[in-house]
Amino acid sequence: MIRRTTLDEFIITGQRSMQDASGEFSGLLRHLGIAAKIINRVVNKAGLLDILGLDGGINTTGDTVQKLDIYANDMMIEYLRNSGICAGVASEENEDFIDFYDRNLLRSSYVVVIDPLDGSSNIDVNISVGTIFGIYKRLSHEDRRLEKRDFCQRGSELVAAGYVLYGTSTMLVYTTGKSVNGFTYDRGVGEFCLSHPDMRIPERGKYYSINQGYSQSFSPGISRYLDHCAGQNKALRYIGSMVADVHRTLCLGGIFLYPVTRSNPEGKLRILYECNPLSMLIEKAGGKSVNENNERILDLEVNALHQRCSIIIGSAKDVDEAMEFIG
């Protein structure tokens, strides 16, 4: 029986090697892991708990909200609030950020950005969904209330980023700026166990991932690149759940693209809690992540919590090749 390192052990060990060994940052990571376990428990039983189906609400960014979205959002926010070591949260599901000032007992210096349940349109048909998170050091003084600038920071300022993929198995993948490590949830012991140490994205892959349904509204450069991919016998894979599509890209190599379209002239995906955390992970694993103007995603100015961008992310050689066509 292989003895696997648990997430808690890995975090504590990592804490010992960090300058900021206050334990606050480690505690925050551990609370995110606990929230992930609770969401996992419900996501896995969703069909039985009769919480499927449209809630009928519309979230901040106009996506149709599923009941499980609300549950995941409430869970993440409560766990982070009760941790006493998080100053506040910005979520896809909330118009504005949430300041934990009254409950931030330790006057935490960290804020969290989250997409609590990404790809939720797939919930009812049992296709993988995910949670995405990013952690920033706050910019405002710890004794004061949070400000928008604490959240609207460049992705390059992230101190940690990760996702939970609720798929055939449940995985938590995160980085604190050095390596990218993957943990698989072992229901038997109720722990995330280290299963994919030091993940590296292949420098090139055979998969390209894009919603071809929008092909009529892609730029000529994107269309030229897609013709090139088809001519190269690359395989098209598109799940419609960014966490699942990016996780496959991280594991097998290749490229994921969500360009601007007529219905989303700025791009559909949100910089703060989708593109930046996933771009940090892919870059730390050796890949690249840019927008259609070939600007590094992590360098983009973030001026609004729900700001969108186009994204081309994946194996370095595939992204470079794509940009030769997209220009």
Chain residues in the site for ligand P6P (CB under 6 A):
63, 118-119, 121, 211, 240-242, 245, 268
The answer to whether 134 and 161 are in contact (CB under 8 A) is yes
Catalytic residue from among 7, 68, 117, 269: 117
Distance CA 108, CA 153 (A): 17
CB of 148 vs ligand P6P, minimal distance in Å = 22
Structure tokens at 38: 């609770």
Q: Is 93 a catalytic residue?
A: yes
Min dist CB 154 to ligand P6P, Å, is: 21
Among this protein's residues, is 301 annotated catalytic?
Answer: no
Which residue, 130 or 205, has its beta carbon nearer to ligand P6P?
Answer: 130
Sheet containing 180-186: order of strands: 98-99, 88-91, 110-118, 129-137, 160-166, 170-175, 180-186, 191-196
- H-type alpha helices, the chain: 7-16, 24-44, 67-83, 148-151, 220-231, 242-252, 276-284, 316-326
Active site residue 305: no
Annotated catalytic residue within 8, 49, 52, 63: 63
Q: How far is the CB of 131 from ligand P6P (least distance, A)?
A: 11
Q: Which is nearer to ligand P6P, 171 or 193 (CB)?
A: 171
Annotation marks residue 142 as catalytic: no
Catalytic-labelled residue, pool 69, 245, 292, 318: 69
Is 63 catalytic? The answer is: yes
92 catalytic per annotation: yes
User: Which of the residues 24, 80, 115, 146 is marked catalytic?
Assistant: 115
Q: Which residue out of 150, 191, 274, 318 is catalytically annotated?
A: 274
Residue whose CB is less far from ligand P6P, 247 or 288: 247
- Distance set, CA 252 to CA 134, 206, 288 (Å): 23, 8, 15
- Taking the least distance from each CB to ligand P6P, the nearer of 240 and 286 is 240
Burial per residue of 270-285, b for 16 or more beta-carbon CB atoms within 10 angstroms, e otherwise: bbbbbbbbbbbbbbbb
- 7 or 164: CB nearest ligand P6P: 164
- Catalytic residue annotation: 63, 69, 92-93, 115, 117-118, 274
